[in-house]
Structure 1
Amino acid sequence: MEDILPAEDTEAEPRNLPLFKSSMWCEERRLRTFQHWPDSNPVSAPDLAKAGFFFLGPGDRVQCFCCGGILRSWEAGDVPMLEHLKFFPSCRFACGKEVGNEQALSLQEQEMLPIRDILDCVDGQIFSLLQRLDTEETALPSHPEYPEMRMEEMRLATFHNWPPYNEMYPEQLARAGFFYTGHGDTVKCFYCDGTMRDWMLGDDPWKEHAKWFPRCEFLLQSKGRAFVTRVQETSFNPQEPLGDSWSRDEQEPSAIQVYADPAPRDSGTSGLKEEAQAECSDEPAGPMLSTEDQLRRLQAERMCKVCMDKDVSVVFVPCGHLVACAECAPNLRRCPICRASIRGSVRTFLS
């Protein structure tokens, strides 16, 4: 076992935030980073995630979300938490202090969750991202998803290979909280993790930010709630069906219908509510599904509809459909459910 980044060096660096990587404060999220953890490694990914580490790579390099310490060369018999304390004794998380860590549920705790409550998380594969700001009840995040990008200068530095033909100026995007991902014209907000792409002439980054991610705390602090509310009111007409607000582009006929509904639908006229009503009316009332059937249905709903392997984890904006995993979503230009143009995306973590 050896350390790469000593704790003393980590603490010597000036940091305005209490955590080195606040986006990894959740144990479940840290565990998700170990998808490519070497199978031959003698230390298990769950034990590393529980000890505060997320996978960094290459090899078996891991990093603490709290102190930023990096360890590698794990050997048989190593206990992650003890190694954490050995090399980084001043880490507040390793010392047992309260830093906001959220532990993952055990298998027993997960089995105790009501099946109906789990199904409600993904039922219909539709999340409403077009709600008015004053009707949203979800709490705002207390920390930015990418604290290392909190300075505008750092965000601007990511645009060194920004496409020269693009109409948007990097300075405008960086000022509005976005940094460049390095793919096409895709940018991310450092605070809310909202993703935007396909920028057009005349787009205002602040307005687009307020239009699709109205709960972003950085946005609210920078522009004020009145600005966000005004953008929401002018962008979405409550009297119009949601289907008309999915995209500026002309809607194309849906290539995939939810639950393989054989009945054709008119493009651009049927919204989310109409689809949900159609699904309910097409299915005759029957006896309640057994627990095994409910679990099979849950597994099918959580499966990525592109690779049919990993779990869905990306909600498309503006349509709000949840159908792809993090690996497949960046390759899609249109939602496979409604064929609406994808202007952005939001990562989700299903329990």
Structure 2
Amino acid sequence: MGDAVPPQETLLRTARCQLFKFIMRNEARRLRTFWQWPDSSPVSAHDLAKAGFFFVGPGDEVQCFCCGGILKDWAPGDCPVVEHLKFFPSCKFICGEDIGSQQVFPLEEIFDCVDGQLLSLLQRIDSEDIALPNQPEYPEMGTEEMRLSTFQSWPQYTEVHPEQLARAGFFYTGRGDMVRCFYCDGSVRNWEFGDDPWREHAKWYPRCEFLLQSRGREFVSGVQESFFSTLVSPSPLSTEEQLRRLQAERMCKVCMDRDVSVVFVPCGHLVACAECAPNLSLCPICRAVIRGSVRTFMS
């Protein structure tokens, strides 16, 4: 048996989990998380959101807002409602119980499930034609203090500090190192050393009203110009930078000292050394439950 979690930390985790369940109980809000949904997926984002799932990644991994169940590797012919009921039969939402959500799923629709058309939310469209929301997507996360409180389980290996992220409008989703803006609903993950949350916010979501009011249009325009100029004329990495990145990839993301040498099963992530791996119950990258591990050796 592993070390017991302190009561205070357990309470904080429970509170954050309940808060996120409240946020994602709205079907339209769940649907908006699928803006990076793989175009190649045989299952539609609309059907997944209707079945209670929101997108967490990586790949096609989704999670139920009610029971917390995670499904991935969707195949042609899969019906989200049926799969939800098959793997998580005790989920109150999919069983049709009233859990206070804005839509209770009719149980009879399980037997009338028809695959919907793939809803592509990741399209290149003229941003000037899109009206900005007058209100934040997550008003309950409007204060920096509330956003900061969601980072209780923020991965220790991450170089970016929660205070920086919360100040830039982000709250922690609880999955890997993915954060989400309380105002524009934009998500960012895969943070690297030296990343500035404000600049990343401006790079990917330049029309966020919170961003524009906080940093100004001149700042956002400068980030955009720098970003697109880099895309047009990418600079080759120096030998030192290539070596630094290679070393960072091989370094254990837990102790940040020894080389990675253990692959977690079933997620397949190689992020920990032989000494740190036995102490983990969840993968620090995708937060999947570790069912087993395989030792690897680098030549």
- TM-score of Structure 1 vs Structure 2, range by shorter chain: 0.3 to 0.5
TM-score, normalization: structure 1?
0.36
Larger radius of gyration: 1
Question: Relative contact order, CA 8 A, sep 6+: which one is greater?
Answer: 1
TM-score, normalization: structure 2?
0.42
